[in-house]
Amino acid sequence: MTDRPDDDACPVPLSRYAQIVLGHGSGGRLSADLLREVFLAGYGDRGPDAREDQAVLEVEAGRIAVTTDAFVVHPRFFPGGDIGALSIYGTVNDLAVGGARPRWIAVAFVVEEGLPVEELARIVRSMRDACERADVTLVTGDTKVVDRGKGDGVFVTTTGVGVVPAERDLSATHARPGDVILTSGTLGDHGMAIMSVREGLALVEPIESDAAPLNGLVEALLAAVPETRAMRDPTRGGVASALTEIAAASRVGMTVFEDAVPVRDTVRGACEILGLDPLYVANEGKLLALVPAERRGAALEALRGHPLGADAAVIGEVTDRRPGTVVLRTAFGTERVLPMLSGEQLPRIC
Amino acid sequence: MTDRPDDDACPVPLSRYAQIVLGHGSGGRLSADLLREVFLAGYGDRGPDAREDQAVLEVEAGRIAVTTDAFVVHPRFFPGGDIGALSIYGTVNDLAVGGARPRWIAVAFVVEEGLPVEELARIVRSMRDACERADVTLVTGDTKVVDRGKGDGVFVTTTGVGVVPAERDLSATHARPGDVILTSGTLGDHGMAIMSVREGLALVEPIESDAAPLNGLVEALLAAVPETRAMRDPTRGGVASALTEIAAASRVGMTVFEDAVPVRDTVRGACEILGLDPLYVANEGKLLALVPAERRGAALEALRGHPLGADAAVIGEVTDRRPGTVVLRTAFGTERVLPMLSGEQLPRIC
């Protein structure tokens, strides 16, 4: 019997169960219990206010933006974050870098039988805090349970809906030769936080994920520099892959100046130990922005004026050479191509 | 090395890989290949027309509806459908029964390393066909890959966005004593299609899933009977759980007439073999509708006039007895309570 309460072993009042059982995905009474005691209780005022299978939202006439992401990060809890916060920030950031104002989040869980209920509740509370910080609301959700050995604890898919202000016109196709490329801060923190835990690196100072919501920073930049051409959050595949996508879409070249790329010493050290290049490592709270050269000063000032942009820097420029290609100019003045990430150097980083 | 092409073993032109490798989730070149060769090629004109991380959609002022569902059905292919079609219809139906007109779908895959690429492509083509049938468009997506043994082939999460016409006012709280309860057709087909395959039942006539998009049927009903109180698609937990939710939300009782419930003979037989009650078995192409008693004839006529409603029937009524409780009146005139599904009788049915 999978549906017998395990009262003696249960350390939490959230549910009569200490661990998730298949019945929690049944659509019946146990699903209703889980919804009420873990999800609705955990999300609080950042969660759905009704139990319909859908959320109904009032919108103005205009453009809405929709994005979806599955999160399978391993381990689920890591320095500076967890799968719950990451699933909110990742989707908020995808909307923000497209110029949308994130408003609503839908969330779907695939939970493996046997996951401690308290661990799920902890993830839910983290999502609630992340929604508060990003000023978005969880409006609807779903939970399925798979048999033990057919999942990996919990996978979270979040879908975000945002509103695009009328004047916004950002696109990966808008980069022009002469534009400057900015980062809002140090690169590689998230990926190396995950990898250093997974590989058991004994670091003097632990690396923390940079997971954070970028919508406030984006608003600050666009208020100061509405001419901003394009933005990206360099997650999987890192800066090199994100810039290559824009270079290809805009049919331009790009040059990145190696000695201008801000990387924490601990991150650089961990990359060297593991043989990784920080330009290919995932970030979850960093912005890449392309702006016209004459707006360089205003963009830097806007980014540095926000707590998440204190380490902002110009790291490169758009060129008319080799369209679709990003080139790294090393500290020695030599150049080499930064291809898109080939293969998988960092599995399950997000 | 996970990123070396396995040319000799590759039976399909879709990719240089016969099987999904971790690199297909890297965000780098292999992710781009998979996006182009499997997803964009498979979705065709029902898929995204750009490669931004988000979709931008034009909306009128008013209400939009958002719903999300994870699909973990096992097996992935079954008589009458597959996980791809199911993931489209399930989300379309959640929107439709709330009164929304489904328009856009976002999709996120969690794929297990080793899944044949051709199988993923087959699922994608099925999603395309389902979008065509339901008249919705896939506007954005995401794919993550987990290591072998940490998933189960493929999980699909779909999120649907629809538009709610101004005059619509359906809610689980709107049921009133005297209302009649209709089903659009036979019950239990989807769940027993899955279970008969999984249990290896040797049936003379195989049971086919009823997986289908209900938005056309819903529009036909609401055009004829705009006074419709509430609708549900009785998926997980079946008719008993769906009606109990409405009974609780509206603080009314309900009586279901056992001999009025349409169930195929093969489904009834399979239920008897496996000890299941058709009223608790999942459906994926059936509608429950509550309408005022005086609109009973018009509602039946509207449902039966649609190809998906040919077997529509009145199966019960709303009462003022025992609020929150659904009672079954048997063919012998006795009554017993139909509680919400307790535990899990049919895991991974959707």
DSSP state of A3: -
In the predicted model, what is the mean pLDDT of chain A? 93
Q: Do B344 and A141 touch (CB under 8 A)?
A: no
Q: Which of B28, B55, B97 sits opposite A341 (nearest CB)?
A: B28
Q: Which of A58, A155, A345 sits opposite B110 (nearest CB)?
A: A155
Separation in Å, CA of B46 to nearest CA in chain A = 16
**Among all residues of chain B, which has the CA nearest to that of A71?**
B144
Q: Which of A62-76, A301-315, B40-54 shows the lowest per-residue confidence on average (mean pLDDT)?
A: B40-54
Cα–Cα distances in angstroms (integers) from residue B305 to residues B219, B298, B302, in the given order: 12, 10, 5
Q: Do B27 and A235 touch (CB under 8 A)?
A: yes
List of chain B residues whose C-beta atoms are within 8 Å of the C-beta of residue A67: 53-55, 106, 140
Q: Which residues pair with A109 in a beta bridge?
A: A143, A156
Q: Which of B21, B23, B55 sits opposite A65 (nearest CB)?
A: B55
Q: Which of B4, B51, B66, B246 to mutate to test the interface with A (most CBs of A within 10 A)?
A: B66
In the predicted structure, residue B158 carries a pLDDT above the cut 70: yes
Separation between Cα atoms, residue B95 and residue B163, nearest integer Å: 9
In the predicted structure, residue A8 carries a pLDDT above the cut 50: no
List of chain A residues whose C-beta atoms are within 8 Å of the C-beta of residue B107: 68
In the predicted model, what is the mean pLDDT of chain B? 93
Q: Do A140 and B67 touch (CB under 8 A)?
A: yes
List of chain A residues whose C-beta atoms are within 8 Å of the C-beta of residue B71: 144
Q: Do B341 and A27 touch (CB under 8 A)?
A: yes
- The whole-model pTM stands at 0.94
In the predicted structure, residue B89 carries a pLDDT above the cut 50: yes
Q: If pLDDT is split at 50, 70 and 90, which confidence band does A10 have?
A: very low
pLDDT at res. A335? 97
Q: Do A144 and B348 touch (CB under 8 A)?
A: yes
Among B65, B242, B46, CA closest to B132: B46
Q: Do B236 and A72 touch (CB under 8 A)?
A: no
DSSP state of A209: P
Q: What is the 3-state secondary structure (H, E, C) of chain B?
A: CCCCCCHHHCCCCCCCCCECCHHHHCCCHHHHHHHHHHHHHHHHHHCCCCCCCCEEEEECCEEEEEEEEEECCCCCEECCEEHHHHHHHHHHHHHHHCCCEEEEEEEEEEEECCCEHHHHHHHHHHHHHHHHHHCCEEEEEEEEEECCCCCCCEEEEEEEEEEECCCCCCCCCCCCCCCEEEECCCCCHHHHHHHHHHCCCCCCCCCCCCCCCCHHHHHHHHHHCCCCCEEECCCCCHHHHHHHHHHHHHCCEEEEEHHHCCCCHHHHHHHHHHCCCHHHCCCCCCCEEEECHHHHHHHHHHHHCCHHHCCCEEEEEEECCCCCCEEEECCCCCEEECCCCCCCCCCCCC
Preceding omega of A79 cis (within 30 degrees of 0): no
In the predicted structure, residue B4 carries a pLDDT above the cut 60: no
Separation in Å, CA of B234 to nearest CA in chain A = 10
Q: Which of A20-34, A283-297, B91-105 shows the lowest per-residue confidence on average (mean pLDDT)?
A: A20-34
Q: Do A151 and B152 touch (CB under 8 A)?
A: yes
Q: If pLDDT is split at 50, 70 and 90, which confidence band does A98 have?
A: very high
Separation in Å, CA of A53 to nearest CA in chain B = 6
In what helix (H) or strand (E) does residue A239 lie, and over which residues does it extend? helix A238-250
Q: If pLDDT is split at 50, 70 and 90, which confidence band does B52 have?
A: confident
Question: Quick count: other Cβ atoms within 10 Å of Cβ A307?
Answer: 9
pLDDT at res. A40? 93
Q: If pLDDT is split at 50, 70 and 90, which confidence band does B15 have?
A: low
Percent of chain A with pLDDT over 70: 95
Separation in Å, CA of A148 to nearest CA in chain B = 10
The side-by-side arrangement of strands in the sheet containing A180-183 is: A230-232, A288-291, A180-183, A313-319, A253-257, A326-329, A335-337
The encoded tokens of residue B164 equal 């709610």
Q: If pLDDT is split at 50, 70 and 90, which confidence band does B49 have?
A: confident
Tens digits of residue pLDDT in A106-146: 999 999 999 999 999 999 999 999 999 999 999 999 999 99
Q: Which of B24, B61, B140 sits opposite A68 (nearest CB)?
A: B140
Any idea of the CA torsion for B78, B80, B86, B89, to the nearest 10 degrees?
-170
In the predicted structure, residue A26 carries a pLDDT above the cut 90: no
List of chain B residues whose C-beta atoms are within 8 Å of the C-beta of residue A342: 3, 23, 28-30
Q: Do B29 and A340 touch (CB under 8 A)?
A: yes
Q: If pLDDT is split at 50, 70 and 90, which confidence band does A4 have?
A: very low
In the predicted structure, residue A13 carries a pLDDT above the cut 50: no
pLDDT at res. A290? 98
**Among all residues of chain A, which has the CA nearest to that of B159?**
A159
pLDDT at res. A1? 30
List of chain B residues whose C-beta atoms are within 8 Å of the C-beta of residue A106: 66-68, 159
In the predicted structure, residue B253 carries a pLDDT above the cut 50: yes
Q: If pLDDT is split at 50, 70 and 90, which confidence band does B347 have?
A: confident
pLDDT at res. A340? 85
Q: Do B343 and A28 touch (CB under 8 A)?
A: yes
Q: Do A342 and B57 touch (CB under 8 A)?
A: no
Q: Do B145 and A347 touch (CB under 8 A)?
A: yes
Beta carbon pairs, A and B, within 8 Å: 296
pLDDT at res. A51? 64
Q: Which of A66, A86, A161 to mutate to test the interface with B (most CBs of B within 10 A)?
A: A66
List of chain B residues whose C-beta atoms are within 8 Å of the C-beta of residue A337: none
List of chain B residues whose C-beta atoms are within 8 Å of the C-beta of residue A238: 27
Query: What mean pLDDT do residues A320-340 have?
Result: 95
In the predicted structure, residue B10 carries a pLDDT above the cut 70: no
Nearest-5° angle of CA B187, CA B192, CA B196? 160
Separation between Cα atoms, residue B128 and residue A257, nearest integer Å: 44
Q: Do A344 and B26 touch (CB under 8 A)?
A: yes
